[in-house]
Amino acid sequence: MVIVLLAAYAIASHLLRLDFTELPVRETSFVPGDGGAVKQFSVRVNTYKRNENLKRSVEVVAKCPSVASLTIVWSEQENDPPPLDFFAPHARPLISVEKHTVNSLNNRFRALTQPTTEAVFSMDDDVLFRCQDLAFAFDTWKAAKGTMVGFHPRLVTLDRATGQHRYRSWWYVWRTGAYNMVLTKAAFFHRDYLETYFSVLSDEARAYVDATRNCDDVAMAALIAHVSGAPPIWVEADTSDLGVTNAISASRDHFAERGRCLDFFVAQLGGASPFRTAQFKAVRAKRLWWFTR
């Protein structure tokens, strides 16, 4: 127990030392028309009543040279989105606000304007990461454009006795070394999946997301696995989750609810589990301690 606590303390201390805010302002040599759709990606930030988190995460990701645009997905009906001058000057030219008339988790995939780049990076308003890790994940996605590439792996298992799916936590991934889902809170996928989410998934499936106020990420992960027939790719990186203590995932019923979601969406997609399990991860070579610098 002491060893486990010391290890947890060491990891927490390392993450606290990471400085996601003192990054240099972005520099880019991107010229429209020179293949920028491949060199850059569009960011969609889903947010809800966490403006300070939104400000911090947007200002960090806006410093990354590969970001072509940054769309804030706004579903709040009671409040207007913050004005552009709420954000730091370097972020403002990239930002647009997509204001929806209905409060729905499905909105994170409901692009009112089609992204100009092939790659879409979907993120929540409470995650932070380094630009070099984001660039590496983007390069990884370019080698496997049909699947999802992200930073937060999870494992879906099947209870053969009951025929029900179980949603496993990060610690299960850590213990087994296996995963078959990455969360859309920080993941790349092809822009075509935004349209596919509304053309292949049924109205009933999206209504289920609205009714449970959960599992939009499960729906997209299942959809991409179903269409691609491939596992996702987990990219190892140092990330910070600002909302880990008050997120939906902190509720006591979270894992049971996610299991019910999995059963529902698998049935919607034909009944056979689309999830393909992987036991590899993409790692930047310079993260390895034995790499010669």
Closest CA to 231 of 266, 194, 275: 275
Tell me which of 125, 133, 216, 217 is the catalytic residue. Answer: 217
Q: Cβ contacts of residue 63 below 8 Å, gap of 6+?
A: 23, 24, 25, 26, 90, 131
| Residue the block writes with tokens 């070579």 | 285
Determine phi and psi for 86, rounding to 5 degrees. -70, -25
Residue 197 to residue 195: CA distance in whole angstroms: 5
Q: Residues 136, 139, 143, 146: is their CA dihedral positive or negative?
A: positive
In whole angstroms, give the CA distance from residue 225 to residue 219.
10
CA angle 232, 21, 239 (to 5 degrees): 25
Q: H/E/C letters for each residue in 130-157?
A: CHHHHHHHHHHHHCCCCCCEECCEEEEE
Q: What is the DSSP letter of 206?
A: H
Least Cα distance to 231 among 154, 159, 175 occurs for 154
217 is catalytic: yes
The catalytic residue positions are 217
